[in-house]
Amino acid sequence: MAEKSSKGSMLMNWLDERTGIRHAMDEALNEPIPGGSRWAYVFGSLLLFLMILQIVTGIVLTLYYAPTADHAHASVAYIQKVVPGGALLRGIHHYGSSAMIILAIAHLAQTFLYGAYKRKRELVWGLGVVMLLIIFAFGFTGYLLAWDQAAYFGTKVGTAIAGEIPIIGSLQQKIMLGGTDLTTVTLSRFFTTHVFLLPLALIALAGLHVLLFRKAGPAGPYHDRDNHRVDRFYPKQIFKDSVAMLALFVVLAYLALKWPAELGPVADPTSDYLARPPWYFMPLFQLLKYFPGKFAIIPTVVLPAIIFGVLFLLPFFDRKGERNPFKRPLATALLILMLAGAGGLIYLSKYQDRHNPEFAEKLKQQDEEMHAFFKAPFQPQQIGAKTVAVSAKAASNDTVAPNAYMESCADCHGDKGEGASAPELLGVAAKPNRAHDDLIKILDDARAYGLKKPMPANFPDLKDEDKKAIVEWMVKLK
């Protein structure tokens, strides 16, 4: 033992001579905490932990994720349904984003209630407010990446809101979209923002935040009852932080496994999907209902600008030394009002959706579609033609399609059955469940054969002899 520890200290001496690690560790671990360690102080460390967790899970998700409109959804479905540990990692990342917002608000609220933003800590506070905005931007840009119905239509609405802002709105929207519509270019720039720009900004600001916080030192409690007590960061506060981190990690992993992060069917721009934002944008969504037309800028620009402006500048006009929340009734009441207001708006939005029969029905149907897709086994995306030289083969088909085919089928399946927006019909009769009689039955009830939209369920306009003519021609297609 003795020999081992001396070897250890030799290594330490060697390292210390070159890095000054002893002094750095001393600075980091022995920071005094006036008034003693507290559970109320865990939020900052939790946010740092969560930021690292989000970065780590985010990086590994990109091992399989493909940021293009054609493949994004398939790649996310693959992560969720096939890759070992994929559901857990994606789930932690998904719920982690919500946890980030909740904990950032809790951290701000604690600092606010303890009056810890006051003199000497104005910049620490200001950086925190900016980071809250960045966290919301993470949520907004990350939401699109799965490219399912909710992602597509949610972002469609989100970017439209950005476009309604007077003067700069329309340019801003075009920059966000990378054009005039939500396309694969939009997905690329949301991806770039989400995985490169925002993380760089957040890491830089968080570093500065911690640095300036260490420079100013912890503010301690708002009262002086515990003045006699001073803990060091290590081990008491670190212990509390660690326990909180473990609890957070267990909760995130539990949520990820028990209620996996949702993924609906792939985005279909032609559908009438009813978009609902994630919970943290719901207060804004609900407020928009009360400010129609040109007043929409009140909840989208004016109110957020006032809230974040006031928050940012708070330490500059609230310059009294008083820190006790009970002796700052206005400040405390304002915080409670804001949090209750946001909570109330979320509740109201859910309540109205539940009690509007039309919306409730549509949302229920969308939810069922989402779960149906989620349960269905993963289908790999087909890249490249699965059949050889289709057009050449189709061209060699010298039989002419019957008129009924040209009228009812050719637009989607091609004039010679070579396929277009719908699959090719060449060689169809050789496939399972596609014999002559099956094909006739498909024309009467396509759904019974598992064929999905846009294939019509049946063709009421076709006479029986028309159907026969079509199928007789089809089975000859090689």
Partner 1 sequence: MSVHHASEENNSERRTFLGVISGLIAAGISAVLGVTIGRFAISPALSSGGAETWTDVGPLAEIPEGKPTKHNVIVSQNAGWGEFNSQKLVWVLKNGEKITVFTAVCPHLGCTVNAKEEAFICACHNSKWDVAGNAVAGPTPRGLDVLEHKIEGDILKVKYMDFKQGVSQKEVLS
Residues of this chain that bind partner 1 (CB under 8 A): 36, 53, 56, 60, 63-64, 66, 71, 74-75, 77-78, 83-86, 88-89, 228-232, 234-236, 238-239, 241-243, 245-246, 249, 253, 378, 380-389
> Tokens at residue 390, please?
């289709």
Closer of 78 and 281 to partner 1 (Cβ): 78
**DSSP element (H, E) containing 32:** strand 32-34
Quick one: which of 124, 126, 104 has its CA closest to 48? 104
First to last CA, the chain: 81
Closer of 1 and 383 to partner 1 (Cβ): 383
Closer of 46 and 162 to partner 1 (Cβ): 46
In the complex, minimum distance from the CB of residue 77 to partner 1, in angstroms, rounded to a whole number? 7
In the complex, minimum distance from the CB of residue 280 to partner 1, in angstroms, rounded to a whole number? 25
Closer of 245 and 297 to partner 1 (Cβ): 245
β strands within 82-176, DSSP E: none
Q: What is the spatial distance between Cα 92 and Cα 249, in angstroms, rounded to a whole number?
A: 8
What 3-state class would DSSP assign to 442? helix
Q: What is the spatial distance between Cα 140 and Cα 278, in angstroms, rounded to a whole number?
A: 9
In the complex, minimum distance from the CB of residue 342 to partner 1, in angstroms, rounded to a whole number? 31
Closer of 247 and 310 to partner 1 (Cβ): 247
Closer of 242 and 332 to partner 1 (Cβ): 242
What 3-state class would DSSP assign to 458? coil
Closer of 393 and 413 to partner 1 (Cβ): 393
Contact between 43 and 245 (Cβ < 8 Å): no
Distance (Å) of CA 398 to CA 388, 390, 422, 473? 18, 14, 21, 11
Quick one: which of 410, 390, 391 has its CA closest to 400? 410
Residue 470 half-sphere exposure toward CB, CA atoms < 13 A: 27
In the complex, minimum distance from the CB of residue 385 to partner 1, in angstroms, rounded to a whole number? 6
Closer of 30 and 403 to partner 1 (Cβ): 30
Quick one: which of 430, 380, 289 has its CA closest to 83? 380
> Tokens at residue 372, please?
């149906």
In the complex, minimum distance from the CB of residue 374 to partner 1, in angstroms, rounded to a whole number? 16
Quick one: which of 302, 299, 264 has its CA closest to 283? 299
In the complex, minimum distance from the CB of residue 259 to partner 1, in angstroms, rounded to a whole number? 18
In the complex, minimum distance from the CB of residue 109 to partner 1, in angstroms, rounded to a whole number? 22
In the complex, minimum distance from the CB of residue 5 to partner 1, in angstroms, rounded to a whole number? 14
Closer of 110 and 242 to partner 1 (Cβ): 242
Could you say which DSSP state residue 39 is in? G
Q: What is the residue whose two structure tokens read 């931007």?
A: 137
441: which residues sit within 8 A by CB, 6+ positions away? Answer: 448, 449
In the complex, minimum distance from the CB of residue 362 to partner 1, in angstroms, rounded to a whole number? 30
